[in-house]
Amino acid sequence: MTVPSVLTFRKNPHTRNAIFIGTETKVLRNGLIAWKGYHQSIRPSINRLYVNMDTTAAAMYQDGRLIDLCLSFLGKQDISYLSCAYMETDRRSFSRLDRFLRKLRVTIKVGNRAESRPRQITELVPKGTRYKFESGGVETTVERHYRDHHNIALQYPTLVAVGIGDTEVFPIEFLRVVTGQIFRGQIPPESTTEMLQFSKAKPDMRLRQIMDGGHLLDHENSPVMRSSGIRISRTPAEVRGRVLDPPIVRFQETSQIVNKGTFNMVGRKLASPAVIKAWAVVVFDTTNVQVVADWVGYLRQNCIDLGIRILVDQPPIFPHNPSANIEQILLDAANRAVADARRKAEELGLSRNIVPRPDLIIVILPPAVEDLKNRIKHWGDSGAGVSTQCLIGDKCRRLTPRNRDQYYKNVVLKINAKLGGTNFHLTGDHNAPDAIRWVYERPSMIVGADVSHPGPGQTLPSFSAVVSSVDPKAARYVAANRVQEARVERINSLRLFWQTRNDERVTWSLTPRDCWPERILFMRDGLSEGEFTEVKDDELAALREGIRSFFAELRRVKPDFALPAVDPPVKISYLVVIKRHHVRFFPRSQTLTDDSGNVHPGFVMDHTITNPKHRTFFLQSQAGLLGTSRPALYTLLHDENGFTPDSLQELCNGLCYHHARSTRAVSIPAPIYSAHIVSRRGKIHMPQDHDGASTATGDVDWEYWRDNFKKTADTQERLQYWL
């Protein structure tokens, strides 16, 4: 395919802000094909407007025969998987394929007749060509109609058919998919990595691609642009930024200055190691038990190397049993783990009571089994309340002596945080920047909040999550999540996240016992600029209401407890963090790049292209890994804590090193990162046999989701179970 001289929205597939060109494509799985394209939008600044151009990519439906598209989507090659008989036995595949094909545009070619104009599929017809309808007052079937009226014997009469329009049904062998149709749904996990590999480009290459896009879009010859007198420069805007000093990471007895956005655990102990008393291993793939025992040995040794104490050296291993009930085998493993740990405690002369419950279940999984993993997490997080750690058997098999310890150390970081330990934290001593010491000086809480929404066409609700720090170092976090109406960005139940519970002592649900924060930095993900004011006002009001409820309850149950004499009792700053944008930074020379060709980690820019209405800055905290790194955009909408630009930037950069399972800076602060994970895991808290509850009109059945959402188990809600 030749490169067009000019792109036009009439001829090329496009969205509101992007246009796609079919010269660079990559076939994905699941019936999809990736196309590259160009994004453009307008960003206001002081005294001028900027055109924000970037490369982008989108998944398109695979064009060609509809039969081939259906087989690719199902991951099959045998055409019998599209037969009516098979689809009747596999209703889940039928429902998935039906949702995938709805609104897809196809052309119809019957025999020697001319190909039709593009028409839209309305449904998948399970009866296929046996579907009955009336023709001339006589009942007939689709297969008989083509035989009698068109003299055509169907090549695949046993396959499902599709409905087009209100009444027409066509055999799928006559249909071809129109080229260049954007897939609006969520890209399946198995295609996500391929999509990332396709769309990535080193900074210098990406800049060249963007410049090429400017020529193709040909702004200066647009009649609208010429008539309005607007001229667009083809030279990228030049901005000056600065690189923040790297923070210092503290372990149990040693510290390390971050180097190139990363640090390591070699020769170091975890800051606060957990203790594993009762644990077990469950195998859901076909790995031999002895091989699994070797893997467990590597994991155990790395736990010990990092400071975790283990009571039972050899945990029980439950081998693969394809006929076993998943939840029952996990429960059996948990009970056996407790029994073995209590027996070991008695051998050591200790009380059996030191093992009240199981600590950890290690689960060995085959690849690409999201449904199985969700059931395991549902059992552990909101059912039995037991920490679980999943490992992919194929990945463990591929490890070599060179990379084995690094892999298992990364697993240990997850396990330690899930069991209540602290892996590392930023130092708050005199060597730390003032902004980092802000967390230590007075009781402070860092909060991350996010709402995840269902993909297009999904009959799911939205899930909200609030994650907050519960230690003076802002290194440990707890989470609370809720289900709410679909595609509502405001966190409707935010006040409930801050309600008190009264046992023997007052506990603020997201803070240490008998303690409250004097200041809160509330970091919000997922807002667009058009939602800033409305959502901020609503959520600040909910936060204050929850805080007032807390102090009212505190006064009631503990009248002698010292209450704050200041008003407001807790000072709140509200910061929005945006990751989904198309601003990129390209160093002007090699001396200004890191090893990946990106700007150095900790690069911050707070002028020229920022929003003049708000206090905003871009921060690229992470070192480059794949292609061109994306900075995060921070907007401070409300501030009662008196942050200076420097102090807020340094604090946000430091918090990017607090994600417990990573020894490198992540792209957004740890509480925001975790809130995103927790909100995305919301469906795990629903019954795992549901198929998506909707009303007769196809709307989300809100009452079903609300009534069936299962809260996090009491034993897990103060642990970082989502890691």
DSSP string, 471-485: STTS--EEEEEEEES
Q: Which pLDDT belongs to residue 36?
A: 95
Cα–Cα distance measured from residue 659 to residue 422, given in angstroms and rounded to the nearest whole number: 11
Report CA Rg, the chain. Answer: 29
Whether the predicted pLDDT of 563 surpasses 80: no
Cα–Cα distance measured from residue 218 to residue 197, given in angstroms and rounded to the nearest whole number: 28
Torsion (CA) 528, 530, 531, 536 in degrees, nearest 10: 110
Query: What would the two tokens of residue 145 be?
Result: 């109609």
Q: Which pLDDT belongs to residue 564?
A: 65
Give the orientation angle of helix 326-347 with respect to helix 370-378, to 10 degrees: 50
Domain end, chosen from 396, 418, 440, is at: 418
Kindly state whether residues 586 and 629 are assigned to the same domain.
yes
Cα–Cα distance measured from residue 649 to residue 464, given in angstroms and rounded to the nearest whole number: 26
Cα–Cα distance measured from residue 450 to residue 463, given in angstroms and rounded to the nearest whole number: 8
Taking a C-beta distance cutoff of 8 angstroms, is the pair 620, 579 a contact? no
Cα–Cα distance measured from residue 658 to residue 594, given in angstroms and rounded to the nearest whole number: 22
Burial class (CB within 10 angstroms; exposed 0-12, middle 13-18, buried 19+) of 261: buried
Kindly state whether residues 382 and 461 are assigned to the same domain.
no
Cα–Cα distance measured from residue 277 to residue 445, given in angstroms and rounded to the nearest whole number: 31
Encode pLDDT of 162-219 as tens digits.
999 888 999 999 999 999 999 998 888 888 889 999 999 999 999 999 999 988 888 8
Kindly state whether residues 160 and 200 are assigned to the same domain.
no
- Split at pLDDT 50, 70, 90, the class of 6 is low
Cα–Cα distance measured from residue 183 to residue 456, given in angstroms and rounded to the nearest whole number: 10
In a domain, 140, yes or no: yes
Instruction: Output b/e per residue, 228-248; b: 16+ Cβ within 10 A.
Output: eeeebeeeeeeeebeebebbb
- In 10 A of CB 429, how many CB atoms? 11
- Split at pLDDT 50, 70, 90, the class of 502 is very low
Kindly state whether residues 387 and 513 are assigned to the same domain.
no
Dump the DSSP string for 581-616: -------SSGGGB-TTSSBPTTEEE-SSSS-TTSEE
> Would strands 571-578 and 519-525 be described as parallel, antiparallel, or unpaired?
parallel
Taking a C-beta distance cutoff of 8 angstroms, is the pair 366, 342 a contact? no
Kindly state whether residues 559 and 441 are assigned to the same domain.
yes
Kindly state whether residues 466 and 570 are assigned to the same domain.
yes
In a domain, 238, yes or no: no
- Tally of domains within the chain: 4
Q: How high does pLDDT run on average in the chain?
A: 89
In a domain, 308, yes or no: yes
pLDDT mean over 91-113? 93
Query: What's the longest Cα–Cα distance across the chain?
Result: 93
DSSP E strand boundaries for 309-434: 309-310, 317-318, 360-365, 387-392, 425-426
CATH number, domain at 586?
Answer: 3.30.420.10
Burial class (CB within 10 angstroms; exposed 0-12, middle 13-18, buried 19+) of 348: exposed
In a domain, 713, yes or no: no
Q: Is the pTM of this model over 0.85?
A: yes
In a domain, 260, yes or no: no
Of 629, 626, 583, the closest CA to residue 194 belongs to 626
Encode pLDDT of 321-337 as tens digits.
877 899 999 999 999 99
Torsion (CA) 268, 270, 271, 277 in degrees, nearest 10: -150
| 446: containing domain | 425-708
Cα–Cα distance measured from residue 165 to residue 151, given in angstroms and rounded to the nearest whole number: 24
In a domain, 48, yes or no: yes
Share of the chain above pLDDT 70, in %: 93
Kindly state whether residues 69 and 56 are assigned to the same domain.
no
Kindly state whether residues 399 and 533 are assigned to the same domain.
no
In a domain, 248, yes or no: no
Tokens 């509480």 -> residue: 671
Lowest mean pLDDT among 137-141, 157-161, 280-284, 601-605: 137-141
Kindly state whether residues 283 and 207 are assigned to the same domain.
no
Kindly state whether residues 337 and 407 are assigned to the same domain.
yes
Query: What would the two tokens of residue 397 be?
Result: 């098999």
Query: What would the two tokens of residue 574 be?
Result: 């509200």
Whether the predicted pLDDT of 458 surpasses 50: yes
Kindly state whether residues 495 and 410 are assigned to the same domain.
no
Kindly state whether residues 200 and 132 are assigned to the same domain.
no
